[in-house]
Amino acid sequence: MPATVGDVVKCLSKMIDVLHENKEYLTELDSAIGDADHGINMDRGFQAIAKKLPELGNMTDVGAILKACGMTLITTVGGASGPLYGTAFLQAGTALVGKQELEPGDLLVAGEAALKGVVMRGKANLGDKTMVDALTPAIAALKEALAAGANAAEALEKASIAAETGMKETIPIQARKGRASYLGERSIGHQDPGATSSFLLIRTMAEIAHDTGF
């Protein structure tokens, strides 16, 4: 069953709740290797999206909804999170412009576009201890699952597991991008907050897809 605009808005609403619930956790992670504001910034950005949910729910174009979210994040979130997550949503939205419903394959199209945007904007690669370390294996797992005939919920569950693994694999590596890179070897032993928030969002997508029968 295709995902509707209502399903997309429901997913955004759940993302808002999840990031609010994990605000202190994400900020605690960031306090070890960053500016101690990742959770605060992400919550601020998604609370701004929350205020626009009634308006977004009246749209019929999934791509336009995601692009509106991207612009909201860019204009309200501080630090690197705003530009990076904003770019992810903008690129995903651009890839889905004109879509009134989503098929499983559309998730891969949007995901690949989002990842490409994040890599280009942040100049980060796999192993740099950033959100890319969660997103890259997640998109690869999504692609593999869909190619094997999985439905959206099953594929997103595989992506969620891969994102969690990638998130945990940031702990033993040294940061090579962002504020954390200034710490050098002292960044080793800490989980990257950006990879963590990426995992939380992908897990939320998987849960909503399961709940809606997507």
pLDDT value at residue 127: 87
What is the maximum span of the chain, computed from C-alpha positions, in angstroms?
49
Give the pLDDT confidence score for residue 35 in this predicted structure: 83
The Cα 91–Cα 116 span in angstroms is 8
**Domain boundaries, position 81:** 3-212
Q: From CA 139, how far away is CA 199, in angstroms rounded?
A: 12
pLDDT of residue 128: 87
The single-letter DSSP state of residue 97 is T
pLDDT of residue 63: 97
**pLDDT per position in the chain (214 positions), as tens?**
899 999 999 999 999 999 999 999 999 999 988 888 999 999 999 999 999 999 998 999 999 999 999 999 999 987 788 999 999 999 999 999 999 999 999 999 999 999 999 999 989 889 889 999 999 999 999 999 999 999 999 999 999 999 999 999 999 998 876 766 666 677 688 999 999 999 999 999 999 999 998 9
CATH number of the domain bearing residue 73: 1.25.40.340
For position 185, what pLDDT does the model report?
74
Angstrom distance (rounded) from CA 80 to CA 41: 10
pLDDT of residue 182: 60
How many domains in the chain? 1
Pair 87, 75: CB distance under 8 Å: no
DSSP string, 44-96: HHHHHHHHHHHHHHT---HHHHHHHHHHHHHHH--TTHHHHHHHHHHHHHHHT
